[in-house]
Structure 1
């Protein structure tokens, strides 16, 4: 990966970074994070800068990411800006050492709390903003701050109206007051340190994607058998009906995209669930015992439930 030779100066990233700088300027904040290319999105502790994934630095690499993972995280201007606003929330905390503030700790919690291996999101909670997927503000106090900052920074977000009457409004008001106090204030931390820059990453693209696919993949396909047998059937009476495997393959892309939109999970992860379900349907000789439209609806619900169960089990995807 160190030999890819890509930089942060490509047209796509440059445009999004300049937009981010303009949004900070509009808020009268003089802080500007620095950027570098790495293997994923992240903001290191103590560093007022942001690492962006290599695949956003060149169209061919974005195409490779799509082929390997079935989507490109941050690959559209809107998606990229959502992530950048989140990451700059981390970076500005580093730049001004905001995590040390007692009031910040009272409002959001302590940064010293360990990151959980997994978390169980509460989709209907009104104590957290909704910005990135998988209700990411609920995962840790630092992510709660970064997500709240991102909502505050977003132009024309009308957060005061959107979250009126919600407990989370107090967090937004705190961030608003905190940032107003930082207007025109120089940052305390000005290091330009880069952690894990692409030029120092020695693994190959093959190794990178093997690890990434393994991380977002799943195991134990037989886990789905009871639900598949309730939806489909191996009874002789349905021997002349369409096979469940063929049926699922027909609308694979459609259901994958729907469930990804609902859950915020990687399409790659969902596709692994689908592939295992299709294989189990084939191995169990299951067939379609009901109308296709009803089966499509029932299966979409089933896949959503299993995806959320998988998310709660701890192997969720996030942009950190």
Structure 2
């Protein structure tokens, strides 16, 4: 099917940012997202689950309470918008088939919880906790915990009972996940076995809630893309502390004899994108946040007049390890990180 053409496709980034979200008029239908949703429905059908979450385009990923459906972010509906998302956020969440399906399975867990009101069951509450628990602004995950499955980044199951269920459901639903073997000996296995039992119980049954309501559809969002991204960037904004001097001075040289060597700031700038991607992959941290850390480190290298002496490959590797260690400390150290909602 040929892709639908839009007048805004050929606009510059600055011009596109002035467009209102409602004017984009993109849909799930006729895009690669339609195939992703169809695959999700096939997976549910294979498990005998009658509920088919309806989908629509909005500003972000979410499944509203008491609505058995899934909102998908607008940028995934068109390559031009994905390109802009990449520029503004350094990442395109859900931008690959694998990642999109992972998030869809997670959101389907929410939709099925809503459709069948599973959170009202006593056993559900005993295993996952009360759904009524307030969503925190911050959560502090324990990467070593075996009480939760591991599906989306940043140990998301640990953030709230609803997310714990959605993550557990996603692991259960994913084809060939071998969850019994993967989680053997983990307390999280009890949750997976309960989901397996629960899905067998509701198989073939009509959900209690069948509304096809679309919450915050793109057509009703009046903010411009620029306003949208300013808000999104502010959410991930990070002011890094200037505590890197000792580590940077150990890695790079302050010896006057090396004043003709390449500035460390130049080396970091040249490999910046690669370092940012690697650290994001290893830690799960958002690339926009990591970019702020790199900005600060580059500034400190410049102010300290640090020089890159030795093998460039080794220096880049050592610096990447340093940023990873600092990021892990920020995520799981005494301070608490920002809540990231899906």
Compute the TM-score of the two structures, normalised by the length of structure 2: 0.89
CA distance in 2, matches of 1:318, 1:12: 26
**How far is 1:41 from its partner?**
0.4
* 1:54 matched to 2:94: no
* 1:279 matched to 2:299: yes
**How far is 1:297 from its partner?**
2.6
CA distance in 1, matches of 2:316, 2:331: 22
* 1:72 matched to 2:114: no
On the 8 A contact 1:48/1:192 being kept in 2, the answer is: yes
Q: Which moved more, 1:288-297 or 1:278-287?
A: 288-297
On the 8 A contact 2:138/2:339 being kept in 1, the answer is: no
Equivalences for 1:187-206 in 2 at 5 Å?
Answer: 187-206=207-226
Out of 138, 150, 171, the residue aligned to residue 130 of structure 1 is: 150
Q: Which residue of 2 aligns with 1:113?
A: 133
SS where residue 262 of structure 2 aligns?
A: coil
Compute the TM-score of the two structures, normalised by the length of structure 1: 0.95
CA distance in 2, matches of 1:153, 1:202: 36
**How far is 1:183 from its partner?**
0.4
Q: Which moved more, 1:156-165 or 1:211-220?
A: 211-220
Q: Where in structure 2 are there 5+ consecutive unaligned residues?
A: 1-20
1:120-144 CA distance string (max 9 Å, x none): 2211211111110111111111111
On the 8 A contact 1:310/1:316 being kept in 2, the answer is: no
CA distance in 2, matches of 1:215, 1:229: 32
CA distance in 1, matches of 2:326, 2:59: 29
On the 8 A contact 2:138/2:338 being kept in 1, the answer is: yes
Q: Which moved more, 1:251-260 or 1:20-29?
A: 251-260
Out of 40, 51, 69, the residue aligned to residue 31 of structure 1 is: 51
**How far is 1:182 from its partner?**
0.4
**How far is 1:269 from its partner?**
2.0
1:166-199 CA distance string (max 9 Å, x none): 1111110000000000000100001112211111
1:75-100 CA distance string (max 9 Å, x none): 11110000000001011000000011
Q: Where in structure 1 are there 5+ consecutive unaligned residues?
A: none
CA distance in 2, matches of 1:249, 1:264: 22
Equivalences for 1:17-28 in 2 at 5 Å?
Answer: 17-28=37-48
**How far is 1:317 from its partner?**
6.8
Q: Which moved more, 1:158-167 or 1:279-288?
A: 279-288
Between Structure 1 and Structure 2, how many residues are aligned?
Answer: 320
CA distance in 2, matches of 1:78, 1:125: 25
* 1:9 matched to 2:39: no
Q: Which residue of 2 aligns with 1:207?
A: 227
Quickly say closer, same or farther: Cα 1:78–1:289, change in 2 above 3 A.
same
CA distance in 1, matches of 2:338, 2:32: 27
CA RMSD for the aligned pairs? Answer: 1.7
CA distance in 1, matches of 2:128, 2:214: 27
CA distance in 2, matches of 1:287, 1:42: 46
**How far is 1:21 from its partner?**
0.2
Q: Which residue of 2 aligns with 1:263?
A: 283
CA distance in 2, matches of 1:180, 1:316: 37
1:238-274 CA distance string (max 9 Å, x none): 3222211011122212211111110112222212211
CA distance in 1, matches of 2:135, 2:330: 18
* 1:243 matched to 2:263: yes
**How far is 1:44 from its partner?**
1.2
Q: Which residue of 2 aligns with 1:99?
A: 119
CA distance in 2, matches of 1:233, 1:120: 36
**How far is 1:118 from its partner?**
1.6
**How far is 1:319 from its partner?**
5.2
